Amino acid sequence: QITLKESGPTLVKPTQTLTLTCTFSGLSFSTSGVGVGWIRQPPGKALEWLAIIYWNDDKHYSPSLKSRLTITKDTSKNQVVLTMINMDPVDTATYYCVNNPWLSGAFDIWGQGTMVTVSS
Amino acid sequence: DIQMTQSPSTLSASVGDRVTITCRASQIINTYLAWYQQKPGKAPNLLIYKTSTLESGVPSRFSGGGSGTEFTLTISSLQPDDFATYYCQQYNTFSPWTFGQGTKVEI
């Protein structure tokens, strides 16, 4: 059974850097085809895909946010870390960690999400 | 970016109704389309992928169809548990994967 859980700050100030960690179980980056990504959802709005990282360290980012995002993995800890620089109030959202196997494209397992508010 | 447009934005229906939600892509995405259900305060749940393949455990009253740029999600007989918001998502290309704006199915 695959589970994912997000952790990180609930409140960040404008211009600060957000660091979110996804800790998962039931899969491993030592296995070919494993991929874990991030999706966010502002309150009352639609979903927005942010980034994905695969077992082979292949990474993809949303073009509109690419300059602000970094995604990394720690195979030994079963973790994926998303860093977003220069946070703005419009980045206030629930951030979800998702399972996305190689060549799948669909997100079959989601974390519970973590709400991040950007405010001074 | 490939834009995904869902219609309607809100759908009012009754238990037992057959409902259909449409998702249109701004360019051809072949059959690389997924549907999700989201209930308030919860993470989305994958219902259908590759346009018409039902995710394991999803009731058979849900079905998906379409190709190219126009796709549909149909619920054959709406149940009380189905009142939620539904999103389509294309994954034809990485740049980027995009979602529709959502369709709220309400009583």
Q: How many residue pairs from chains A and B have C-beta atoms closer than 8 A?
A: 56
Cβ proximity of A3 and A26 under 8 Å: yes
Taking phi over 0 as left and psi of -120 to 50 as alpha, with beta for the rest, B16 belongs to left
Q: Which residues of B touch A108 (CB under 8 A)?
A: 46, 49, 55
CB contact under 8 A, A49 and B101: no
Low-confidence ranges of chain A (pLDDT < 50): none
Cβ proximity of B106 and B9 under 8 Å: no
Q: Give chain A's mean pLDDT.
A: 96
% of chain B beyond a pLDDT of 70: 99
pLDDT at B96 over 90: no
Q: Return the pLDDT at B92.
A: 87
% of chain B beyond a pLDDT of 90: 93
Q: Return the pLDDT at B81.
A: 96
CB contact under 8 A, A108 and B99: no
Cβ proximity of A1 and A26 under 8 Å: yes
Q: Return the pLDDT at A102.
A: 86
Mean pLDDT, to the nearest integer, of B101-105? 98
pLDDT digits (tens, 9 = 90+) for B21-44: 999 999 999 899 999 999 999 999
Shortest Cα distance, chain B CAs vs residue A39, angstroms: 10
Q: How confident is the model at residue B50 (pLDDT cuts 50, 70, 90)?
A: very high
Distances (CA, A) of A19 to A5, A34, A114, B96, B107: 14, 22, 12, 22, 40
pLDDT digits (tens, 9 = 90+) for A28-40: 999 999 999 999 9
In one letter, which amino acid is B91?
Y
Q: Which residues of B touch A2 (CB under 8 A)?
A: none
pLDDT at B93 over 80: no
Q: Report the 3 state secondary structure along chain B.
A: CCCEEEECCEEECCCCCCEEEEEEECCCCCCCEEEEEECCCCCCEEEEECCCEECCCCCCCEEEEEECCEEEEEECCCCHHHCCEEEEEECCCCCCCEECCCEEEEC
Shortest Cα distance, chain A CAs vs residue B93, angstroms: 9
Which candidate in B5, B97, B103 is best for mutational testing of the A interface (most A CBs within 10 A)? Answer: B97
pLDDT digits (tens, 9 = 90+) for B79-91: 999 999 999 999 9
Mean pLDDT, to the nearest integer, of B84-104? 92
CB contact under 8 A, A112 and B43: yes
- The token pair that represents A67 in the structure block: 């300059």
